[in-house]
Chain A
Amino acid sequence: MEFLVSRTFYARGQTGQQLLLGAYSAMNRQIAKGKIQMFSRHEMVELVKVDGKARGIIARNLITGELERHSAHAVVIASGGYGNVFFLSTNAMGSNTTAAWKIHRNGAFFANPCYTQIHPTCIPRSGEHQSKLTLMSESLRNDGRIWVPKNLEDAEKIRSKTIKPTELKEEDRDYYLERRYPAFGNLVPRDVASRAAKERCDAGYGVNSTGEAVYLDFSAAIERYGKEKALVSGIKQPSVEKIIELGEEVVEQKYGNLFQMYEKIVAENPYKTPMMIYPAVHYTMGGVWVDYNLMTTIPGCYCIGEANFSDHGANRLGASALMQGLADGYFVLPYTIGDFLANDIRTGPISTDLKEFEIAEKNVSDTIDKLMSIKGDKPVDYFHKRLGKVMWEFAGMARNKEGLEHAISEIKTIRKEFWENVRIPGDKDEMNTELEKAGRVADFLELGELFAKDGLERSESRGRTF
């Protein structure tokens, strides 16, 4: 008898979304009670420290461009991870490092910046226009066999669409994970699967027009499930068509929504032709260093969720990012922040007229003026994409000394060019999406260098780092 325990409770493939909506509704309740205020379309652009303690922030109103001063007895950063330093990732487009990076620049330690989780099962990019990547569930590797053509000529023919993958004979396919790791096969750890896919594609065996994709083939699973189904349904000597029909039903029950999502994006039917996958950046385990109370090295400044470095080490296991979001916000911070606030019980309100606020606001407005005055001839995305390519090639899944040193010098060059040649149209005192992006990319250009330096410090292979 088998006892199966679900490691994770899933909610129809929208677990994270539903947790977010749950947290949002709990927040709405507090807003309704007048306990908290929400400032949507605002961005934190600087931390304000008074006598060494975090006492407030400078925020930019993204509709009017006005800079606002907000004071408090403590500051909590919950701004998520920095996977978008790679330009392409599974993160939302707005995800950035700015809030975390600002507190780092104000003295908060940063830990393990190079710890990045790269997922092997994402939908490959289709061309230069690609803006973000979509994660397919890891569970697909349970039933899919990963392969590329054995011969370079066949790979070339598949890329130019002169032959179809289904026309390639079994002996002309290279099930490289099964070949290299016979004991684990397609279920090797994520980092191994990711590196192997990139290695095969770099060697010229990639199967889509960009050359950056491998096949994840369900035909063997469809046949196997079909035969089992025929057997239990008492169908004697089923035809091949019947087996496939029954097998596809089983696969649909298991992965129907994922197959549908894939078909929407790629416009190919993954039941009939193998799915294409490629690794993509999904999560950053590194972040702002915090103690067990989730306080950074700046007194009164806390950092929670993906923005901090805690909980995951060099790897991250399924659903543990959601766990961290809930644990930090619901179970840890409400009990630890009081310890700091207790000593400030007699402090009284913090005035935003203090010179510290004035100086911080001046710094921000000087930086904005500087960005606006460059008036160069390249859009922000040009620099972000260049940074992303350097990060992916030299600081991504497999790193070495030469590559990382090259990355550091490249990032410095891109950063220099950015500050000399970025073009931001429009004005600073209105909604200006290019100015928003420019501020974030400026921070990514600094973080990227720290990331590569961290990689250089490590000679070991650990978790995601090789």
Chain B
Amino acid sequence: MDLTLKVWRQKNSQAKGKMETYPISDISEDSSFLEMMDVLNGNLINSGKEPVAFDHDCREGICGMCSMYINGQAHGPMRGTTTCQLHMRSFRDGETIYIEPWRSGSMPVIKDLVVDRSAFDRIQQAGGFVSVNTSGNTQDANAVPIPKVNADKAFDAAACIGCAACVATCKNSSAMLFVAAKVSQYSYLPQGEVEAKDRVVNMVNQMDKEGFGNCTNTGACEVECPKGISLEYIARMNREYVSATISSEKK
């Protein structure tokens, strides 16, 4: 396949970036999108230029690193996949492909296609955990019975890989789907229930502090989520948040 790539280049967080055009040829349709980027970088290095910096690690759809906005869609045209799971057979020979980083004020570009997602770390540090010590004396997980339906719902939420495609695709740069998944994952289970009220309030407050936008229920996040996290979790989080702020004993 022969392609024309338009790639966002930005030297660092302070520099002004712009789209650069690179023609590329002889790409196998069996190669993954990131392998195509490897070939591009090999060509750039061979011609004495700097390669395009992009985040990637597991290359099997579970680490959430490959944050590329391809032809105006988070992770490209296929649904339910990350960029590393996208193959070149999804594109036509001769096509022009636009490749950009995630765009969100709360996730600034570090270099080229690499963005700073540490806001997600800080949201999880605000409450994305269960207050149990892990030093080897925890009780048997099966000692507390959990209804299957709750365990399944918690697991569906736990499938979130924190890739931030939801933020990138949202016109409001909202992180609600991510935060809702993390909140629900714990509050569905008895171990996380005791601190559910504090958790939802603290995580939502941190989300606001990081500057993420609000949810206007357009549902784009659900469509782009590589793990199929449902919009229902946002509704659930809102209910939890309202109930927590009304009924909390804390001031």
A contact residues vs B (CB 8 Å cutoff): 11-12, 14, 17-18, 21, 23-26, 28-29, 31-32, 38, 40, 63, 92-94, 126-127, 129-132, 134, 264-267, 330-331, 334-335, 377, 379, 381, 423, 425-426, 430-431, 433-434
Contacts and interface: CB of A to CB of B under 8 A. Distances in A.
A26 B128 CA distance: 9
B66 to A, nearest CB: 10
B134 interface: yes
B249 interface: no
A431 B114 CA distance: 10
Interface string B109-147: 011001000100100111111111011100000000000
B77 interface: no
Given A25-B129, A433-B51, A126 B46 contact: no
A129 B40 CA distance: 11
Contacts of A25: 124, 128-130
B50 interface: yes
Given A29-B129, A40-B118, A126-B30, A430 B124 contact: no
Nearest to B89: A267
Contacts of B58: 92-93
A126 B28 contact: yes
Contacts of B158: 18, 21
Contacts of A24: 124
A17 B89 CA distance: 28
Nearest to A423: B45
Give the one of B31, B136, B159 with max A CB within 10 A.
Answer: B136
A431 B45 contact: no
Nearest to A22: B134
Interface in B51-72: 51, 53, 56-60, 62-63
A14 B56 contact: no
A92 B63 contact: yes
B38 A131 contact: yes
Contacts of B114: 431
B119 to A, nearest CB: 12
B93 interface: no
Contact of B121 (A21, A28, A334): A28
Given A18-B158, A38-B121, A127-B31, A334 B38 contact: no
Interface in B14-33: 27-28, 30-32
Given A93-B56, A126-B31, A28 B89 contact: no
A330 B35 CA distance: 37
A31 to B, nearest CB: 5
Contacts of B11: 430
Contacts of A330: 134-136
Given A330-B134, A334-B136, A431 B12 contact: yes
B159 A14 contact: yes
Give the one of A25, A92, A379 with max B CB within 10 A.
Answer: A25
A36 B228 CA distance: 33
Nearest to B134: A26
B196 to A, nearest CB: 15
Nearest to A329: B134
A93 B57 contact: yes
A433 B12 CA distance: 13
Given A129-B31, A381-B42, A430 B135 contact: no
A6 to B, nearest CB: 12
**Majority SS at the chain B contact face:** loop
A132 B84 CA distance: 10
26 contacts: A11-B155, A14-B62, A17-B62, A28-B125, A32-B125, A38-B121, A92-B57, A92-B58, A93-B59, A94-B57, A129-B27, A129-B35, A130-B35, A131-B35, A264-B81, A265-B87, A267-B30, A377-B46, A379-B42, A379-B46, A423-B45, A425-B51, A430-B12, A430-B111, A431-B53, A431-B111
B53 to A, nearest CB: 5
A129 B38 contact: yes
A38 B130 CA distance: 19
B39 interface: yes
A12 B136 CA distance: 25
A212 to B, nearest CB: 14
A180 to B, nearest CB: 31
Nearest to B81: A264
B242 to A, nearest CB: 24
B182 to A, nearest CB: 9
B176 interface: no
Contacts of B27: 129
Contacts of B12: 430-431
10 nearest A-B residue pairs (beta carbon)? A126-B30, A29-B129, A331-B136, A25-B129, A379-B45, A129-B31, A92-B58, A334-B135, A92-B57, A431-B111
B63 A31 contact: no
Contacts of B111: 63, 430-431
A426 B50 contact: yes
B150 to A, nearest CB: 15
B131 to A, nearest CB: 7
Nearest to A331: B136
B85 interface: yes
B94 to A, nearest CB: 19
A94 B54 CA distance: 12
Nearest to B35: A129
B129 A26 contact: yes
A131 B32 CA distance: 9
B62 to A, nearest CB: 5
Contacts of A21: 158
A379 B48 CA distance: 10
A334 B136 CA distance: 8
Given A25-B128, A26-B134, 10 more contacts: A12-B155, A26-B129, A28-B128, A264-B85, A334-B136, A425-B49, A430-B11, A430-B111, A431-B111, A431-B114
A38 B124 CA distance: 13
A157 to B, nearest CB: 20
B78 to A, nearest CB: 8
A441 B158 CA distance: 35
